[in-house]
Amino acid sequence: MTDTLNGFMEKHKGILDKELKNRISKLDTPSVLKEAMAYSLEAGGKRIRPLLLFAVIDSFGKNPDSGLSTAAALEMIHTYSLIHDDLPSMDNDDLRRGKPTNHRVFGEAMAILAGDGLLTYSFQLIAEDQHLQAAQKVELLQLLSKCAGPEGMVGGQVADMEGENKKLGIDELEYIHTHKTGKLLTFSVLAGAIIGGADSKQREYLEQFSHHLGLSFQISDDILDVTGDEELIGKPVGSDTGRHKSTYPSVLTLKGAKEHLSRHIEEAKKALDHTHLNTEVLSQITDLIAYRTH
């Protein structure tokens, strides 16, 4: 990791973590709910989505303050999706990032409610933001609800469930991932474009960028499930193949999956070049996501 990227990440993670803590602590709600929400928010996530958002805003030369509520909302929605995915009736996971999952600590009912609370609160954060104009808020809320809801993440999660124990082709697999993981990454990038004030061309290229980045993210996730270090990834290696989930390596072989990954990264970076923005940090974050070790 370069010094520039390192500095960028440390600074923005610091701002975000402070904001998340602050937003939960000031909630007027039963303390056990705050604890359950905070537990998963503070369970060591890599903050990839907020960092992406901040990197896009940065490429427009804008101040991170303008994106802070949206970054916090993004991390909350991502966290809610993990809490619900881990539930006994869903993936039934005991560990997440090496720590007991939310329902293992707070019980299933509270985990469902902590997820519901995080999802709903995330819309409140954007709607109440002081730095954005009404039209920007509406555009952000429109896009976020679409990317997170039935036509986005929730739809992808359903398709994933339906596809379990079935042999899926590469197209079906890409459909699942563009929705389950991709849409929220797309939102991270396009929210940055809305807040940064992108023109229509820039926005189009950033959309292409986010599409390839989203797929890269999922392919590298699947590769890690085969090659990763259990202690680093925080869940048993091979846990996806063990449950008969189709993965990129199982469909394309490990070598094929790695080639597929390289192609998407290349396309992602090409799209960035077309924006004529200062995308150095954004490009480095792309490599970080694609070639991460956990």
State which H helix or E strand residue 100 sits in. strand 99-100
CA triplet 94, 92, 226: central angle to 5 degrees?
A: 75
Out of 17, 99, 100, 145, point to the residue binding a copy of itself (CB under 8 A): 145
Binding mask 111-140 for a copy of itself (x = CB under 8 A): -xx-xxx-xxx-xx--xx-----xx-xx--
Q: CB of 206: closest distance to a copy of itself in angstroms?
A: 21
Sign of the torsion angle spanned by Cα atoms 234, 280, 5, 139: negative
CB 73 within 8 A of CB 67: no
Out of 10, 65, 162, 266, point to the residue binding a copy of itself (CB under 8 A): 162
Q: Which residue has the tokens 């701002």?
A: 15
Nearer to a copy of itself, 3 or 133 (CB): 133
Window 22-41: residues binding a copy of itself (CB under 8 A): 27-30, 32-34, 37
CA triplet 24, 27, 32: central angle to 5 degrees?
A: 75
Nearer to a copy of itself, 28 or 171 (CB): 28
Q: CB of 280: closest distance to a copy of itself in angstroms?
A: 33
Q: Give me the DSSP letters along 260-292.
A: HHHHHHHHHHHHHHHTTS--HHHHHHHHHHHT-
The contact set with a copy of itself (CB under 8 A) reads: 27-30, 32-34, 37, 84, 87, 89-90, 107-110, 112-113, 115-117, 119-121, 123-124, 127-128, 134-135, 137-138, 141-142, 144-146, 148-151, 154-155, 157-159, 161-162
